[in-house]
């Protein structure tokens, strides 16, 4: 599950960087990943994943996203 979260975080960072450009704010980046995580976590919940698994997945996704998009964030 952690690998899937890393993959989603990296993919969402690429999409966000392309959509938001090279001068995205931290607020824009957070809103982007929050939307992606909310959508996918509901799918995981419906599939029967435990709250603990979803929390681990959530944080792994956020960490990878921020690592990958940090170069595009300007505050």
pLDDT in tens, 27-40: 999 999 999 999 99
pTM of the model: 0.87
Helix, strand or coil for residue 73? strand
Full residue range of the structural domain in which residue 23 is found: 2-72
What domain count does the chain have?
1
CA dist 38 and 31 (Å) reads 10
Does residue 23 have a pLDDT over 80? no
In this prediction, residue 39 carries a pLDDT of: 92
Q: 61 with 37: CB under 8 angstroms?
A: yes
Residues whose CB falls within 8 Å of the CB of residue 69, separated by 6 or more in sequence, listed in order? 13, 16, 17, 24, 29
pLDDT averaged over the chain?
91
């Amino acid at each position: 599950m952690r690998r899937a979260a890393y993959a989603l975080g990296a993919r969402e960072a690429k999409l966000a960087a392309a959509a938001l450009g090279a001068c995205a704010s931290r607020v824009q980046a957070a809103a982007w990943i929050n939307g992606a995580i909310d959508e996918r976590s509901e799918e995981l919940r419906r599939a029967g994943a435990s709250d603990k698994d979803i929390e681990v997945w959530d944080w792994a996704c956020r960490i990878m996203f921020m690592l990958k998009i940090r170069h595009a964030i300007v505050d």
